[in-house]
Amino acid sequence: MPNSSTVRISKKAKETLHELSSKSGDPMLYVLDRAIENYRRRIFLEEVNRAYGRLRSDEKASREFDSEITAWDTTLMDGLEPSEKWTQGSESNKKQKRSRKK
């Protein structure tokens, strides 16, 4: 059992939590954990977007960032022959990789 704490929530929040639990078949604790994780991710992405906006508002920093991204883009095909085609998850690519390792 995970550590537990008592947290007061509104009657409406408890009703919503109970409804979501009933609909999903998941325990209320799981529903609450997922809701908190989704909220954490949303806040994280909002912070990233604000930081990216600040970067783009600084002309010099934005150019430097673009230059670095361009440099990294040249590494995308490292280790592949020009004739090789890469499709993520493709079984033939997995076999090719295994045979190269031998």
**Could you read off the pLDDT of 14-69 as tens digits, one per residue?**
999 999 999 999 999 999 999 999 999 999 999 999 999 999 999 999 999 999 99
Q: How far is residue 53's CA from residue 49's CA, in Å, rounded to a whole number?
A: 6
Name the residue ranges covered by the structural domains of the chain: 9-72
> Would you state the pLDDT for residue 12?
98
pTM, 2 dp: 0.62
* Both structure tokens of 48: 């990233």
The C-alpha R_g of the chain, in whole angstroms, comes to 24
Q: Are 61 and 67 contacting, i.e. CB atoms less than 8 angstroms apart?
A: no
Q: How far is residue 28's CA from residue 15's CA, in Å, rounded to a whole number?
A: 11
